Amino acid sequence: MATAVTPPRKDRGSMKEALRIADLFREEQRLVGQTIRVQGWVRTRRDSKAGISFIEVNDGSCLKNLQVIVELARPELVETLRSVTTGAGIQVEGVLQASPGKGQSVEMHAASIRLFGGADPATYPLQKKRHSFEFLRQIGHLRPRTNTLGAVARVRSRLSFAVHQFFQERGFFYLHTPIITSSDCEGAGEVFRVTTPPSRDDVAAPEAGDANVPDFFGKPAYLTVSGQLQAEIYALALGRVYTFGPTFRAENSNTSRHLAEFWMVEPEMAFCDLQEDLEVAQALIKNLLQVVLTDCNEDLEFFSRFIEPGLRENLERTLQTPFETVTYTEAVEQLKKAGETFAFPVKWGMDLQAEHERFLTEKIFEKPVALVHFPRHLKPFYMRVNDDEKTVAAMDILVPGIGEIIGGSQREERLDMLLQQMELKGISTEDYRWYVELREFGSVPHAGFGLGLERLIQFATGLPNIREVIPFPRTPGHAYF
RNA sequence: UCCCCGGUAGCUCAAUCGGCAGAGCGGGUGGCUGUUAACCACUAGGUUGAUGGUUCGAGUCCGUCCCGGGGAGCCA
């Protein structure tokens, strides 16, 4: 973030602490003429046999590199310089000076160079030139050293912090819902089964799913697909809570918008209806985009230039215009009137296809769209049934280019209606006794939603594939590291 | 999981109708230069994803499998 300050560190026996390059550029005017120390990785080196070499050092604190000037008249530096190749980890000390060259305001004139670890140019995979994202995924341990992945990591960090800021400033409590859960039927896709049978050397490893083998938890357990149901428990005690953590879907889906492990933000609010739910969702998205615009300026500029032209303008426009709110029924009418031939013809009662959602947000409204009040039979049991008894108080927020970024609803707080819904959807009132009891004891209207962090980052950075906006993507067949 | 398109040098890609395996970048060597996607010259670098088949001959055609990308479904 732009206002970061280098934390104090123990001196390592030399004259001064290393400076983060982001801090260096921020205070360059004050630092010119001073001797400083920088630690980082070599992006490239350009040699001038006439007398100097140029080293570009990046330490990950910002997009910018520091140009280091090495005078070849100094044999003690030249010896080290031979191993200072692309990828090497080094420390340099020297005087910061105004740069006569184009492309940088200041540069360091090296007085000493320390090589921590070299990188053989013949085998180091990262070149100075652009690499495909597909290739970078194969070297996931090195890809954060590239401009794009480094920038994504910084934006992701800032956005994660902003999520907490947003909710904490509004009186929400951060709730840790379980990663391992026994609730498995929330209509949110396939679950990962967590099974740990007792292991003994004299017993052959049991087959997974063998009903006769006692499980660690004594019953089937799963990785969470959503913290919502548990968040409802605490919302009905603390008023307003939010969860922010990893979520898992065992869906065999291979697309640029899906991961098997992703991060979700889920607020849950008591005494809240769909309208307020919608307002919070919109405020959250805009707040997060605003943070990127103000605090991630340099990285955003990079994305705007190399990833998605016009990105900054898109984000600014999104901030200024209210989201469109349309009922499912109205959306179906609009799509029918549009005169567009879809692969799947639109009719009331069907789930909207990706082509329909894209048409709504990219062609008809050209901005984020909140779709509300979906047919009851399309949505899970916990969503509040509307007075027409045909629809539920659900909302999906769609954004251009990405699609669904938020899914939420007002929850069914009426005991009789909840029981009717569970009956209809075949949900066991035995297994969800606790959920029913929340309606028997002090039930109040409440609502919430889930925001996919990675999809928001995609929207904010323009990265076309979700695998580039999470450090270690998990997809079918892929779980490296 | 389904549909479509790919897999050729470290990377990004080309190779006409089935007929000698190519370029740029990167690496190495030399030259040049306050350079900055540096520039110029030379040079090394290949089991064409795997496997089986058709053919005088397969990177190219056919079968199977593996991997990647795009789309769909599922959803965030």
- Distance in Å from B6's C1' to A431's CA comes to 48
How many whole angstroms separate alpha carbon A451 and alpha carbon A290?
16
DSSP annotation string for A197-210:
----TTSPPPPTT-
pLDDT score, position A339: 81
Of A394, A330, A392, nearest to A365 by C-alpha is A330
Gap from A43 CA to B46 C1', in Å?
Answer: 29
Burial class (CB in 10 A: 0-12, 13-18, 19+), A240: buried
Using one digit for the tens of pLDDT, what is the confidence trace for A63-106?
A: 999 999 998 888 888 888 888 999 999 999 999 999 988 889 99
Specify the nucleotide whose C1' lies closest to residue A477 (CA): B67
pLDDT, one tens digit per residue, over A100-158 is: 888 899 999 999 999 999 898 888 998 877 889 999 998 999 999 999 999 999 999 99
- pLDDT confidence tier of residue A210, bands split at 50, 70 and 90: low
* Strand B: positions under 7 A of a protein C-beta atom: 1-2, 10-13, 25-28, 31-38, 67-76
Measure CA to C1' and name the residue nearest B73.
A253
Spanning CA of A26 to C1' of B72, the rounded length in angstroms is 48
pLDDT in tens, A222-259: 999 999 999 999 999 999 999 999 999 988 888 889 99
* pLDDT tens digit sequence for A336-370: 988 888 888 899 999 999 999 999 999 999 999 99
Residue A128 CA to B59 C1' — how many Å? 30
Q: What is the pLDDT of residues A402-449, one digit of tens each?
A: 999 999 999 999 999 999 999 999 898 998 999 999 999 999 999 999
Domains of chain A, first to last: 21-124 (2.40.50.140), 144-323+367-468 (3.30.930.10)
Instruction: Give the CA-to-C1' distance from A260 to B45 in angstroms.
Output: 39
Minimum CA–C1' distance nucleotide for A46: B35
- Determine the distance between A137 (CA) and B6 (C1') in angstroms: 17
Residues 6+ apart with CB under 8 A from A218: none
ipTM of the shown complex: 0.89
Phi, psi of A66 (to 5 degrees): -100, 125
Flag whether pLDDT at A201 surpasses 70.
no
pLDDT given at position A297: 94
Averaged pLDDT, A160-167: 98
- Confidence at residue A2, expressed as pLDDT on a 0 to 100 scale: 42
